[in-house]
Amino acid sequence: MNEVIGIIIAAVISWLNFVLIDTWMGLPEAPGVKGAEVIGRNIKKRGGDLAGGFFQGNIVCSPDASAGTLLASIGCYLIGTPEGGLIAAVLVFFGNRLCADPGYAGTTGALTITILIALTSYIGLTPIMFIAGMMIAILTIQGLYHPASSKLLGKIAQRMGRYTEIE
């Protein structure tokens, strides 16, 4: 497959993978670790959404599904398709516990992207495309304009019934 098209498809798959799993695991509901609350409230102060801010704070402060997606892609690229993703999932699990994060978002994200990489290898997507795709996906959330991205994440959280009850 053409590399550019492959990277774009991989970016969309990675974006959906980490946003849906993180929202489903309740990242926008509450700051899982102490630092996430500070970042979430700061994003709200700059004109963003509090639930989206907690989501972004949780991404910064603990390895969640976005980290799982990138690290499982790296594992699949350098170690091999199922086993590299599994090693990444175990290391992300240790990282969650080191950050005192009680959730399983990172481990779940790493396992689902490993399955997705294995399935999409049949249509010609390679793990290296997922590395670039995940970089583009994280740039759209964390690197462009935080008030807009937090509002989008807040809307997705509302749709999935995971909006924060903290004021």
**For binding to another protein (CB under 8 A), which residues are involved?**
3, 7, 33-39, 42-43, 46, 56-57, 59-63, 66-67, 70-71, 74-75, 77-79, 84, 87-88, 91-92, 94-95, 98-99, 128-129, 131-132, 134-136, 138-139, 142-143, 146
Q: Are the C-beta atoms of 55 and 142 separated by less than 8 Å?
A: no
| CA 160 to chain CA mean position, Å | 16
Shortest distance in whole angstroms from residue 44 CB to another protein: 11
- Spatial separation of the C-alpha atoms in residues 81 and 86, rounded to whole Å: 9
- Cβ nearer to another protein, comparing 146 with 151: 146
Shortest distance in whole angstroms from residue 131 CB to another protein: 5
- Cβ nearer to another protein, comparing 26 with 48: 48
- Cβ nearer to another protein, comparing 144 with 161: 144
Please list, in sequence order, all residues whose beta carbon lies within 8 angstroms of the beta carbon of residue 153, skipping any fewer than 6 positions away. 19, 23, 28, 49, 51, 52, 55, 56, 141
- Cβ nearer to another protein, comparing 26 with 31: 31
Please list, in sequence order, all residues whose beta carbon lies within 8 angstroms of the beta carbon of residue 2, skipping any fewer than 6 positions away. none
